[in-house]
Amino acid sequence: MDDKRASEIITTPRLSLRPLTNDDAARIAEVAGVWELASMTARIPYPYSEEQAHQWIGGSAPGEFVRGIELQGTLIGCCGFMPIARESEGNHDEQSVEIGYWIGKDYWGRGFATEAATAIVAECKRRGFSHLHAGHFHDNPASARVLIKLGFKHVGHKDWWGEARQCNIRAERYEMIAS
Ligand SMILES: CC(C)(COP(=O)(O)OP(=O)(O)OC[C@H]1O[C@@H](n2cnc3c(N)ncnc32)[C@H](O)[C@@H]1OP(=O)(O)O)[C@@H](O)C(=O)NCCC(=O)NCCS
């Protein structure tokens, strides 16, 4: 592994958060293209083809930071953050990011989302982002629990598009002011 790639990997006690490559598309489509997972996210379609996963890997938005979550050499999820706009202004806010994460169903309930997202929050702070935002659909108590464990505060709700469900869904919204 070259030095640049090694420096892009975040390690946690059990996980490696590493950049994705095109070779991950099939695994991502397999793991994320499960209804119980995709339907809880805003952006993952259902069904989810390898070609769609390919496009997602290659098409990150400006400033978007995405890492695959690897457990002992196996990709089990993804996490990251992206800059978001202030609602009142429509411009990207230098300070604000939205964080996101998913873990494959076979690996739920072992603390992996909390462990990976804790590292993502630390990375946001290290990069100087002061306002961290996150959310979950109203029927996703596991993600609520992850956000509370990370230290996010519930600030309200809004309707949010769900690509898999193809409709707007009530999303609970959370914020953290980085100290
Ligand atoms: C939400 C998700 C990331 C959680 O992953 P995970 O690795 O299982 O999370 P963790 O093990 O770190 O923590 C889950 C917590 O939720 C709790 N939990 C799980 N199911 C729950 C339920 N039905 N009701 C209440 N709490 C629940 C667990 O007990 C745990 O809390 P604890 O540590 O206090 O016991 C995973 O289920 C997932 O990827 N879901 C689909 C995609 C998604 O929702 N992404 C986030 C929103 S965009």
**Lowest mean pLDDT: which of 5-19, 26-40, 67-81, 154-168?**
5-19
Mean pLDDT of the region 34-60: 97
- Tell me the three state secondary structure of residue 153: strand
**Candidate from 79, 146, 148 with most ligand 1 atoms within 8 A of CB, to mutate:** 146
- Tell me the three state secondary structure of residue 55: helix
Among 42, 15, 45, 11, CA closest to 28: 45
On whether the pTM is more than 0.75, the answer is yes
pLDDT value of residue 179: 77
Q: How confident is the model at residue 61 (pLDDT cuts 50, 70, 90)?
A: confident
Phi, psi of 83 (to 5 degrees): -60, 145
Cα distance between residue 13 and residue 141, in whole Å: 25
> What's the domain count of the chain?
1
Q: Do the beta carbons of residue 147 and residue 99 sit within 8 Å?
A: no
pLDDT value of residue 86: 61
Could you tell me the distance, in angstroms and rounded to a whole number, from the CA of residue 109 to the centre of ligand 1? 6
Residue 89 has pLDDT above 70, yes or no: no
161: its two tokens:
């598009």
Four-residue CA torsion sign, 130, 123, 100, 54: positive
Could you tell me the distance, in angstroms and rounded to a whole number, from the CA of residue 174 to the centre of ligand 1? 16
Cα distance between residue 121 and residue 125, in whole Å: 6
Q: How confident is the model at residue 6 (pLDDT cuts 50, 70, 90)?
A: confident
Phi, psi of 120 (to 5 degrees): -70, -40
CATH number at residue 95: 3.40.630.30
Q: Do the beta carbons of residue 172 and residue 144 sit within 8 Å?
A: yes
Residue 103, ligand 1, Cβ within 6 A: yes
Q: How confident is the model at residue 92 (pLDDT cuts 50, 70, 90)?
A: low
Domain extent, residue 20, equals: 3-177
